[in-house]
Amino acid sequence: MFEPFLISTFTQPPIATLIIAGLALMVNLISSLVRKRFTDIEKTKRIQKEVKEFNSELRKAMMNKDKDKETKLKKRQKKMNEMQMKMMTQNLRTSMYFMLPFFGVWWILIGAFGYETIMAHSPLAIPLLASNPFGIIYSVELNFFWWYFISSISFNGIISKITGTGLTD
């Protein structure tokens, strides 16, 4: 008797809007904690900074046509590429631990909420990429996907800052 009412209550705005935002927050928190557990964040930041400085120095030498410095830097390039590849492999491994369960939960959520159900209304028209022949749709109604996406992006920076898993300072 109450079951259809409860289901429709939790799968329609505004409650569904808050549930999806809460799930985005939870997924970001879990993702950051997994990253913190399986990744050496400080080492990754250090490598990222070193590679960035190296690339900047190499680019500067090439623009200034400083052949001696360019040759010297090119000898170090293999080492830099190896360091960068190791860092990317570590980040990919962490992502794989998290992505498989995430996709399982994603399909359950789409089944529960419906892909096209309007979850939120934006006060501004937001340009959304769409698979239509005209390219971009300007929308004020956000379906499940876009609401989750925007919520997730919104929480990502905050959560990574709180957990110390952000790669930028």
What are 116-156's pLDDT values in tens digits? 888 888 887 777 655 555 656 666 788 888 888 889 899 98
Model pTM score: 0.73
User: Residue ranges per domain, the chain?
Assistant: 3-163
86, 87, 93, 99: CA torsion to nearest 10: -150
**Alpha helix positions (H), 3-143:** 3-10, 15-38, 41-63, 67-113
Tokens of 145: 């996907």
What are 58-106's pLDDT values in tens digits? 899 889 988 888 888 888 988 989 988 988 888 888 888 777 777 877 8
- Quote the mean pLDDT of the chain: 82
What are 149-168's pLDDT values in tens digits? 889 899 988 999 999 888 76
DSSP classification of residue 123: E
User: CA 153 to CA 165: how far, in whole Å?
Assistant: 15
